[in-house]
């Protein structure tokens, strides 16, 4: 017997379930708690609805069975095949519930044999793994694998976990047993054969009706939500807390009245989509006055008087010189578990016709191959002259003042996390030295050019080349780190 996911493996579906709990904020005072309050007065559109879904009144019929939904797919799990086979025999042979089983074709006869005493209460739905809705974007789940601190999970397991609500909803729309209530139940949930006699009535319609009514979906709340976990972001409506590391709900058994489940289905997958979209984005809200470089605006106002380009402002100097701080803070936070980090000016993508050719920026393989771990990338827009690389012994600074001579672009720069942290310390030490020696430091490019002269071992300088039909050379760094043929990667192209 092949492996199946365990009810104890509850990482990535749980953040979404917990998020929905916080979104709805409807709790009862005791465990287990019923959550996800849904407004059943809003109609749910069903294609070819079964008879029991056509009524506008939601008075549950106590003479109808609760339909149980489960699934078995050939995916890796932390339990042995033998263990899962034993658990399934307990469930499928001993619990005479009305049951839907979603599985692959090779297991159909096996499950029929296990349910031979309850075939009139069993519907086996053969559906290949590749036909599951959540399997349509395996790239997403492979990326989620990299974010998972519990390294034993697999992308296929994430698919099954997040398909549970789809299984429930599909069963409701089919509704072969004309039920009002539906409960997802992990196929490995029944583990002790000595307790099956007292569980043989699972699930009871009257109990479901009494506990759930028609407007709520059941989950087992394993741990309490803390007050801080209940806050919602005003930006996206999601909880500000990331539930990745905090299990709150159990996913082994979930469900409720058909209308509540269908309402929940819509909310669940909308929330999942939001989380996926946000999963590539972390928004840090910080007032300008809280930026490190904004703590001394009087100094930047003095440098305004030194700037021959009069359209610049003290605030702009503060932002330019905050870039390395931004990059350093992200390296230390590292929510995406990255090795390399690239600062990119928010106005770097300026030609809509070129965006499709830049959508792979930044490609991890390209970045790793081109940068390694020791150097920080900069675009060398103009060549350094020989005399500009001389260092003044008395100050340790370049003899040349780069205020009037642009050499490096600051739109895109970065590298391996260790290199970024080294560079950050040197950048701000150099900025202080330049400032103390009366040099203009309003433009980050001046400081970057000085660091490149003083510490050539720390920088990887790349000259722009023609790209994408007259692409702007100042933004060549974006193209440089896109996914291109490895034939182009010679360290300079």
Predicted local confidence at residue 32, as pLDDT: 46
Predicted local confidence at residue 145, as pLDDT: 84
In a domain, 60, yes or no: no
Using DSSP's 3-state secondary structure scheme, residue 359 falls into coil
pLDDT band at 84 (very low <50, low <70, confident <90, very high): confident
Predicted local confidence at residue 231, as pLDDT: 87
Residue 464 sits in the same domain as residue 359: yes
Residue 274 sits in the same domain as residue 296: no
Predicted local confidence at residue 188, as pLDDT: 93
C-alpha closest to that of 376 among 460, 450, 436, 440: 460
Distance CA 416, CA 323 (A): 16
For the cut 90, the answer to whether the pLDDT of residue 80 exceeds it is no
For the cut 90, the answer to whether the pLDDT of residue 83 exceeds it is no
Predicted local confidence at residue 20, as pLDDT: 53
Of the candidates 246, 279, 312, which is a domain's last residue?
279
Residue 262 sits in the same domain as residue 351: no
Contacts (Cβ under 8 Å, ≥6 apart) of 198: none
pLDDT band at 31 (very low <50, low <70, confident <90, very high): very low
Of the candidates 211, 244, 279, which is a domain's last residue?
279
For the cut 60, the answer to whether the pLDDT of residue 65 exceeds it is yes
- For residue 446, what are the domain limits? 288-480
Residue 265 sits in the same domain as residue 363: no
pLDDT band at 484 (very low <50, low <70, confident <90, very high): confident
Residue 299 sits in the same domain as residue 272: no
Look at 368 and 171; give whichever has higher pLDDT. Answer: 171
Q: What total of structural domains would you count in the chain?
A: 2
Predicted local confidence at residue 491, as pLDDT: 44
**Domain harbouring 77, CATH code:** 3.90.550
With tokens 């003083």, the residue in question is 454
Residue 403 sits in the same domain as residue 442: yes
Using DSSP's 3-state secondary structure scheme, residue 475 falls into helix
Of 45-49, 175-179, 442-446, which gets the smallest average pLDDT?
A: 45-49
In a domain, 52, yes or no: no
Q: Residues 114-136: what's their mean pLDDT?
A: 97
For the cut 60, the answer to whether the pLDDT of residue 180 exceeds it is yes
Mean pLDDT, rounded, of the chain? 86
Predicted local confidence at residue 19, as pLDDT: 52
In a domain, 14, yes or no: no
Predicted local confidence at residue 390, as pLDDT: 95
For the cut 80, the answer to whether the pLDDT of residue 15 exceeds it is no
Distance CA 336, CA 412 (A): 19
Residue 124: C-alpha distances to residues 98, 168, 396 (Å): 11, 14, 77
Look at 307 and 41; give whichever has higher pLDDT. Answer: 307
pLDDT band at 266 (very low <50, low <70, confident <90, very high): very high
For the cut 50, the answer to whether the pLDDT of residue 11 exceeds it is no
Of the candidates 262, 279, 296, which is a domain's last residue?
279
Residue 225 sits in the same domain as residue 297: no
Count other C-beta atoms under 10 Å from residue 424's C-beta. 17
| Strand partners of residue 411 | none
Predicted local confidence at residue 17, as pLDDT: 53
Predicted local confidence at residue 82, as pLDDT: 82
In a domain, 43, yes or no: no
Q: Residues 453-457: what's their mean pLDDT?
A: 97
% pLDDT > 90, the chain: 63
Q: Residues 215-224: what's their mean pLDDT?
A: 94
Is residue 370 within 8 Å of residue 481, measured between CB atoms?
Answer: yes
In a domain, 437, yes or no: yes
pLDDT 10s digits, 221-233? 999 999 888 988 8
C-alpha closest to that of 35 among 302, 225, 299, 291: 225
pLDDT band at 489 (very low <50, low <70, confident <90, very high): very low
Strands of the sheet with 98-103, listed across from one edge = 34-35, 217-221, 249-257, 181-185, 67-72, 98-103, 122-126
For the cut 90, the answer to whether the pLDDT of residue 112 exceeds it is yes
Predicted local confidence at residue 365, as pLDDT: 84
Predicted local confidence at residue 18, as pLDDT: 52
Residue 348 sits in the same domain as residue 461: yes
For the cut 90, the answer to whether the pLDDT of residue 58 exceeds it is no
Residue 273 sits in the same domain as residue 317: no
Identify each DSSP E strand in 248-316 by its residue range: 249-257
In a domain, 32, yes or no: no
pLDDT 10s digits, 321-330? 999 999 999 9
User: Alpha helices, DSSP H only, in 384-480?
Assistant: 417-436, 444-454, 476-480
Of 57-66, 87-96, 381-390, which gets the smallest average pLDDT?
A: 57-66
Of 165-179, 269-283, 441-455, which gets the smallest average pLDDT?
A: 269-283
Using DSSP's 3-state secondary structure scheme, residue 332 falls into helix
Q: Are strands 67-72 and 181-185 parallel, antiparallel or unpaired?
A: parallel
% pLDDT > 70, the chain: 86
For the cut 50, the answer to whether the pLDDT of residue 262 exceeds it is yes
Residue 403 sits in the same domain as residue 467: yes
In a domain, 421, yes or no: yes
Residue 248 sits in the same domain as residue 303: no
Is residue 21 within 8 Å of residue 32, measured between CB atoms?
Answer: no
Distance CA 403, CA 51 (A): 78
Distance CA 271, CA 237 (A): 10
In a domain, 93, yes or no: yes
pLDDT band at 22 (very low <50, low <70, confident <90, very high): low
Residue 316 sits in the same domain as residue 382: yes
Q: Residues 61-86: what's their mean pLDDT?
A: 88
For the cut 70, the answer to whether the pLDDT of residue 392 exceeds it is yes
């Amino acid at each position: 017997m092949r492996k199946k996911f365990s009810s104890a493996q509850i990482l990535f579906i749980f953040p979404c379930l917990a998020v929905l709990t916080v979104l709805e904020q409807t709790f009862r005072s005791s465990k287990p708690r019923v959550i996800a309050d849904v407004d059943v007065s809003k109609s749910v559109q069903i294609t070819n609805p079964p008879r029991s879904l056509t009524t506008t009144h939601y008075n549950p019929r106590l003479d109808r069975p609760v339909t149980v939904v489960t699934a078995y797919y050939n995916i890796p799990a932390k339990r042995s095949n033998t263990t899962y086979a034993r658990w399934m025999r307990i469930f499928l042979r001993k619990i005479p519930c009305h049951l839907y089983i979603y599985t692959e074709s090779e297991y159909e006869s096996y499950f029929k044999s296990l349910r031979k005493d309850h075939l009139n209460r069993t519907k086996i739905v053969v559906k290949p793994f590749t036909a599951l809705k959540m399997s349509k974007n395996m790239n997403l789940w492979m990326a989620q694998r990299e974010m998972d601190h519990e390294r034993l999970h697999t992308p296929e397991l994430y698919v099954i976990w997040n398909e549970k609500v789809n299984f429930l909803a599909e069963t409701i729309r089919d509704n072969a047993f004309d039920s009002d209530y539906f409960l997802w139940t992990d196929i490995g949930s029944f583990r002790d054969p000595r307790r099956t006699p007292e569980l043989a009535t699972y699930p009871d319609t009257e109990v479901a009706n009494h506990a759930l009514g028609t407007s709520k979906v059941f989950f087992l709340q394993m741990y309490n939500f803390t007050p801080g976990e209940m806050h919602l972001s005003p930006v996206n409506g999601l909880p500000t807390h990331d539930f990745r590391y905090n299990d709150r709900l159990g996913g082994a058994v979930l469900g409720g009245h058909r209308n509540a489940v269908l309402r929940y289905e819509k909310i669940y997958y909308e929330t999942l989509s939001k989380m996926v979209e946000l999963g590539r984005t972390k928004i840090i809200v910080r007032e300008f006055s809280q930026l490190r470089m904004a703590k001394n605006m009087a100094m930047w106002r003095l440098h305004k008087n030194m700037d021959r380009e009069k359209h610049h402002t003290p605030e702009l100097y503060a932002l330019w010189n905050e870039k390395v701080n931004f990059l350093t803070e992200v390296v230390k936070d590292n929510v995406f578990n990255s090795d390399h980090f690239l600062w990119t000016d928010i106005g770097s993508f300026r030609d809509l016709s070129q965006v499709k050719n830049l959508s792979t920026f930044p490609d991890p393989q390209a970045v790793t191959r081109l940068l390694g771990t020791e150097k920080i990338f900069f675009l060398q827009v103009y060549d350094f002259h020989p005399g500009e690389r001389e260092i003044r012994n008395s100050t340790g600074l370049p003899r040349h003042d780069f205020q009037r001579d642009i050499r490096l672009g600051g739109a895109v720069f970065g590298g391996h996390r260790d290199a970024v942290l080294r560079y950050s310390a040197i950048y701000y030490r150099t900025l202080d030295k330049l400032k103390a020696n009366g040099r203009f430091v309003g433009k980050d490019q001046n400081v970057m050019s000085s660091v490149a002269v003083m510490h050539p071992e720390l920088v990887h300088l790349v000259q722009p080349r023609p790209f994408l039909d007259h692409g702007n050379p100042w933004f060549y760094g974006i193209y440089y780190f896109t996914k291109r043929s490895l034939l182009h990667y010679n360290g300079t192209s």
